Amino acid sequence: MNDAVVIEVLNELLAAEQRAIAPRLFEADVFVSSASVAVAQLADQMAAQSAACQRTLAECVSRLGGEPRLRSGSLRSADLHFQELHHMLPRLIDDHGRLVAKYRAAGARLGDDPASAAMVARFLQAHEQVLDALTKMAAPTVTT
């Protein structure tokens, strides 16, 4: 596989990580009620995970001789201010689901580059675990 293609795929993932809303939540003065504490803890983990993914993706792009793209924020996150975090859970799930889908597609495109494919597979697995946790938080509690 040509390094330019790998660089392009990794830059696409870098942009997707940069546009994710989880890292933006705490820049946006969201309200964390007692019902949202678990969501806030997971969102904090998601933000840290995203930062680590961004660093690694940028380093990999540079190592391959490319230029990591400049940060590209999303205007979709402009309305996060003063929202109650628990009520944003469906939106967080949708957003993270899109990120997981991008990683799945990227993994398929990087099949000929084992090192990059392995890195993307690790990130995909971590993101899938978070998506599963988010989905479980959103599931209605069944009482007997």
Spatial contact of 88 and 126, defined as CB atoms under 8 Å apart? no
Predicted local distance difference test score (pLDDT) of residue 143: 53
CA–CA dist 132, 33 (Å, integer): 22
**Superfamily (CATH H level) for 3-138:** Ferritin, core subunit, four-helix bundle (1.20.1260.10)
pLDDT one digit per residue (tens) for the chain, 144 residues: 689 999 999 999 999 999 999 888 877 777 788 888 998 899 999 999 999 999 999 999 999 999 998 876 666 666 676 778 888 899 999 999 999 999 999 999 998 889 999 999 999 999 999 999 999 998 865 555
Shortest CA distance to 84 belongs to which of 39, 140, 45, 50?
39
Predicted local distance difference test score (pLDDT) of residue 76: 64
